[in-house]
Amino acid sequence: MLKLLQNEWMKLWSKKGTWIMAGLMVILIIAMAGIMKWSYSLMDDESDWKLSTQSELENDKNSLASGVLKGESKRLAEENLQISEYRLANDVAPLKDFSREGMIYNPSVGSIALLLTVIVAAGIVASEFSQGTIKMLLTRPVKRWKIMTSKYLAILLFGVLLMLIGFITTILSAFIFFPSEGGQALAISGGNVVEVSIWGHGLYILLLSFVNVIITATFAFMIGSVFRSSGMAIGLSLFIYFTGSVIVGLLSRFEIVKYLIFTHMDLTMYESNYILNDEITLSFSLVVLAVYLIAFLIVSYTVFTKRDITA
Amino acid sequence: MGPTPIVELKNLTKTIRGKKIIDDLSLQLYPGQITGFLGPNGAGKTTTIRMMVGLMKKSGGEVVIDGQTLSADFEEALSKVGVIVENPEMYKFMSGYKNLLHFARMQKGITKERIDEVVKQVGMQNRIHEKVGTYSLGMRQRLGLAQALLHRPKFLILDEPTNGLDPAGIREFREYLRLIAKTENVSVFVSSHMLSEIELMCDRIAVIQNGKLVDLRDMSEPQEAHYYVEAFPADQTFELLGSLGFKSESVNEGFVIQAEKTKIPELVNALSTAGLELYAIQPHRKTLEDQFLELTGGGQLAETASK
C-alpha cells in the first residue's frame, strides 16, 4: 500500500499543475494579507476596544431578551456575553482582527485549500480514464480497492499538506505584514472564562475547515470515479460548496434541513457566532458528515471495483 | 503438444445485457509458443483478452494462469502476466523511467537493476529519462514492451500490439517476441487484425467468431502438403504430372500439386529426364488470409481488412 501511495504521490507532483496550484496558494495568501494591511492602513482605527465590547454586550443582551435565539445560537450568545462582561470587568483587551495575533487565531486557508484539493480529487481517477492509463493501471497484480485506497489517501495527504503550507504561509505573512498588538483570546470552559492560545485555536480552526476539505474532496472523488469526468466533478463539488448555505436558507422551515449535508459542511461556524440551524451541535454535525462520507466512499469503491473497462 | 499449459480458458462466457458476447470459450496456451488470436471485428477478441487480465468481469467460466484461477487469487495469477493492451498509454507528463518505476512498484520484487536491464533490452537507455510526451509511437511501443517484461512474466498477452508501427518497427517487434518466447520460454498470446503479421509471428492460431472458437491450428505443420511446380512447356508438364499420379491445379505460370515431401526428388528426376525446363519447385502454402476467408466468410473479412 505504501508503494501504491508513493506512486500516486509521484504522479501528482510530476504534473506541473500541482506545483502551480501550490505556488498559487502561497502567493494568494500573501497577497491577501498584503491587501488586508493596505485597506487597514486606510482606516483610522483609533477606536477603543472597551466601547465596542460594550456595544457587543448590549447586542447580545438584547437578542437574548427578545427570545429569538434557540439552541446552539443561544448558548453561543450567552457565552459571548459572559466573555464581554469578563473583559470589561478585568480589563482584558480582545485580539484585533487585523493584527498578527488575529490572523493566527483565525487563519483563512480553508477555502483555497479546499478548492485545490477538490481539483486533485476530481482528477485522480477521472484522469486515468481520460489518458487511457487506466488499462495499464488495472492490469497489475493489485486489487482495485487497493488502488482506490491509495488514491484516496493521496488526496487526504495532499489536503493536509496544503493546509499546513497555508498555515505556515499565513503565519509568515502575519509576521511580515502586521505588528503584534497584544490582546487575549478568551473562551468559556466548564462555565468559566479561560484564556485561549492563539496557536491552539488556529490549529483547531484548521482542523474544522479540514473536515470541509475532506467532505467536498470525497464528493469530488466520487463524482470523478463514477462519471469519469473531472470537469463535472469539479463543477458539482464547487456548486454544492458555494450554494450549500443558500439551499439551507431556502429549506430552513423544514425538519429535513438538519440532515442535509450542506447544513454541516462548514464546521467553523461553531467558532463564529452564526450557526445555520438552531437545532444542531458539533457532535451531531460530525455524525451526519460521517454518514455522508461513508456513503460517498461506498459509491466510489463499488462503482470502481465493479466497472468493466471498455474504453 | 508440449508440457502442461500455462494458461487455460475454461468455458469462458461473457453476457452483456442478455447477449452472449463470449460463448463457452475454452483454450489452452503453452510455454514457448506464440499463439495468434484472430477474428473479425466484434467477434470478441478484445473482450476475451480483457477478461483474461482483469479489466472486465467474466459472466461464467474460469481463467487459470499457472495453476491459479483469476477469480480466486487475482494478484497471484496476474503477477505471471505481462500485458500490452492496444497502444500502451503511459503517463505522458512523467519520464519513461518514472513510468517503469511506477509499474515496478505494483509488482513484487523488482529491483532498480532489473529496470535498467529491461531498459537496455528494449534499447532505450538514451532517452529513458525524457518525458513520455516527447516520444514517438515506436518509442512508446518499446516502453510498453518494457513495462510488460519487468517482472519476467511467464505469459505475455498483447492486444493489437503493432497498431501504428512502421514496417521496421513491426519487424523488430516480431523478432523480439520470437526471441523471448524461445529464450525465456514465455507463452505469448497476440490478437491482431493484420493477418500477414500473425502468419509471420505465430506458431499457432486461434480463430474466434461470434464469441466462439471456430478454429485452432498449428502453423508449423500444414495440413496438406502442396508444392508449386513451374516447368516449360506447360502442357507437357501437365501431362507428366498426371502420368505420375499428381492432381494438379493451374496457378499463374505453373501448377500446384498435392504431394508428400519424399516424392519431390523423384518428380525432379522425372521432369529432367523428360527434357523439360524446370524453373521452380517450392512448397506452396495457402496464405492465412485465404484460410481465414474460408473460415469466417468474406463479408466479415472485408470489415476486418478495412481497419
For residue B299, the model assigns a pLDDT of: 46
* A2 to chain B: closest CA residue: B105
Domain contains B2? no
Whether B200 and B231 share a structural domain: no
Distance CA A304, CA A297 (A): 10
CA of B106, closest CA in chain A: separation in Å? 6
Q: Would you call B78 and A306 a contact, using CB atoms and an 8 Å cutoff?
A: no
User: B78 to chain A, minimum CA–CA distance in Å?
Assistant: 5
How many Cβ atoms are within 10 Å of B253's Cβ, its own excluded?
12
**pLDDT averaged over chain A?**
89
* A161 vs A203: CA distance, rounded Å: 14
Q: Are residues B251 and B151 in the same domain?
A: no
Predicted pLDDT of residue B303: 41
- Based on the fold, state whether residues B206 and B253 are members of the same structural domain: no
Do B151 and B183 share a structural domain? yes
Q: Of the candidates B189, B218, B247, which is a domain's last residue?
A: B218
Helix locations, B35-95, DSSP H:
45-52, 74-78
* Residue at B55 is within a domain: yes
In sequence order, the β-bridge partners of residue B213 are: B208
- Helix runs in chain B, H state only: 45-52, 74-78, 96-104, 112-121, 137-149, 167-183, 195-201, 234-243, 264-273, 288-296, 298-306
Give me the pLDDT at residue B164, please.
Answer: 67
For residue B142, is pLDDT > 70?
A: yes
Query: Could you tell me if residue B31 is inside a domain?
Result: yes
Same domain, B130 and B270: no
User: In a mutagenesis test of the B interface, which of A140, A144, A146 is the best target, namely the one with the most B β-carbons within 10 Å?
Assistant: A140
**Tally of domains within chain B:** 2
Q: In sequence order, what DSSP letters do the residues of A229-282 get, joined into one string?
A: -HHHHHHHHHHHHHHHHHHHHHTTTSGGGGG-HHHHS-GGGGTSS--S-TT--H
Q: How far apart are CA A279 and CA A247, in angstroms?
A: 17
Q: Answer yes or no: do B49 and B28 share one domain.
A: yes
Q: What is the 3-state secondary structure (H, E, C) of B177-190?
A: HHHHHHHCCCEEEE
Measured distance CA(B29)–CA(B286) in Å, rounded: 25
* Alpha-carbon gap, residue B7 to B10, rounded angstroms: 10
Distance in angstroms (rounded) separating the CA atoms of residues A260 and A281: 14
- B89 shares contact with chain A (CB less than 8 Å): yes
Nearest CB among B93, B102, B108 relative to A7 is that of B102
The predicted pLDDT at position A92 comes to 86
Question: Does some domain include residue B168?
Answer: yes
Query: A87-121, pLDDT tens digit by residue?
Result: 888 888 888 877 888 888 888 888 899 999 999 99
B73 interface with A at CB cutoff 8 Å = no
Whether B153 maps to a domain, the answer reads yes
- Choose among B68, B56, B61, B17: nearest CA to B159: B56
Per-residue model confidence (pLDDT) at position B1? 47
- Among A4, A132, A138, whose Cβ lies nearest the Cβ of B55? A138
Domain final residue, candidates B197, B218, B239:
B218
> Per-residue pLDDT tens for A122-164?
999 999 999 989 999 999 999 999 999 999 999 999 999 999 9
- Verify that B192 and B83 share a domain, yes or no: yes
Q: Does A260 touch chain B (CB under 8 A)?
A: no
B290 assigned to some structural domain:
no
Interface contact A3-B81, CB threshold 8 A: no
Residue A80 has pLDDT above 90, yes or no: no
Residue B298 binned pLDDT confidence (cut-offs 50, 70, 90): low
Q: Are B270 and B196 contained in the same domain?
A: no
The pair phi, psi for residue A257, each rounded to 5°, is: -60, -25
The answer to whether residues B135 and B259 belong to one domain is: no
Chain A contact present for B85, CB below 8 A: yes
Q: Do B91 and A14 touch (CB under 8 A)?
A: yes
User: Any idea which of A200-204, A256-260, B212-216, B259-263 has the lowest mean pLDDT?
Assistant: B259-263
Is A139 touching B (CB cutoff 8 A)? yes
In a domain, B277, yes or no: yes
- Looking at beta carbons, which residues of chain A come within 8 Å of B81? 139, 141
Residue of chain A whose Cα is closest to the Cα of B84: A136
Give the count of Cβ contacts less than 8 A between chain A and B.
Answer: 77
Q: A-chain residues within 8 Å CB-CB of B76?
A: 141
- pLDDT-derived band of residue B306, with 50, 70 and 90 as boundaries? very low
CB contacts under 8 A, A 276-295 vs B, are none
Cα distance from A306 to chain B (closest Cα, Å)?
8
Q: pLDDT tens-digit profile of B279-293?
A: 888 887 766 676 677
Mean pLDDT of A8-21: 93
Mean pLDDT of A187-198: 85
Cis status, amide bond into A94, omega within 30 of 0? no
Cβ B91–A7 below 8 Å, yes or no? no
Which of B218, B249, B264 corresponds to the end of one domain?
Answer: B218
**Whole-number Å distance between alpha carbons of A59 and A70:** 16
Domain around B269: 226-284
Average pLDDT over chain B, rounded to whole? 84
Does residue B91 sit at the A interface (CB-CB below 8 Å)?
Answer: yes
Measured between alpha carbons, how far is A311 from A269 in angstroms, rounded to an integer? 44
| B189 and B270 part of one domain | no
Q: Do A138 and B90 touch (CB under 8 A)?
A: no
Residues 118-157 of B with CB under 8 A from A: 147
Strands of the sheet with B204-209, listed across from one edge: B81-85, B155-159, B187-191, B34-38, B204-209, B212-218
* pLDDT beyond 70 at A60: yes
Residue B261 sits in a domain whose CATH number is 3.30.70
- Pair (B139, B76) in one structural domain: yes
What pLDDT digit, counting tens, does each position of B147-180 carry? 999 999 999 998 887 776 778 878 888 888 888 8
If you measure CA to CA, which chain B residue comes closest to A139? B53
Question: B297 vs chain A: nearest CA distance in angstroms?
Answer: 27
B92 contacts on A by Cβ (under 8 Å): 131
Instruction: Give the pLDDT band of residue B94 (cuts 50, 70, 90).
Output: very high
Per-residue burial over B216-245, b = 16 or more CB atoms within 10 Å of its CB, e = otherwise:
eeebeeeeebbbbbbbeeeeebbebbeeee
Q: Per-residue pLDDT averaged across B15-32, rounded?
A: 88
CA–CA gap between residue A298 and residue A132 (Å, rounded): 24
The arithmetic mean of pLDDT across residues A174-186, rounded, is 85
Averaged pLDDT, A280-301: 94
Q: Is A146 on the interface with B (CB under 8 A)?
A: no
What are B217-241's pLDDT values in tens digits? Answer: 887 655 567 788 888 888 888 888 8
Q: Does B42 touch chain A (CB under 8 A)?
A: no
Residue of A nearest to B77 (CA): A141
CATH number assigned to the domain comprising residue B141:
3.40.50.300
- Each residue of A275-303: b (16+ CB within 10 Å) or e? bbbeebeeebbeebbeebbeebbeebbeb
Instruction: For residue B303, tell me if it sits in a domain.
Output: no
pLDDT at residue B304 in the model = 40
Shortest Cα–Cα distance, B215 to chain A (Å): 26
Residues B204 and B101 reside in one and the same domain: yes
Contacts of residue A133 in chain B, CB cutoff 8 Å?
89-91
Closest residue of chain B to A9, computed from CA coordinates: B102
Instruction: Count the Cβ atoms, other than its own, within 10 Å of residue B161.
Output: 28
Q: Does A253 touch chain B (CB under 8 A)?
A: no
Do B184 and B173 meet the contact criterion of CB atoms below 8 Å apart?
Answer: no
Give mean pLDDT, residues A277-303.
92
Contact (Cβ atoms closer than 8 angstroms) between residue B141 and residue B88? yes
Say which residue, B253 or B213, is predicted with more confidence. Answer: B213
| Among A3, A6, A133, beta carbon nearest to B90 | A133
Contacts of B105 in chain A (CB under 8 A): 3-4, 6-7
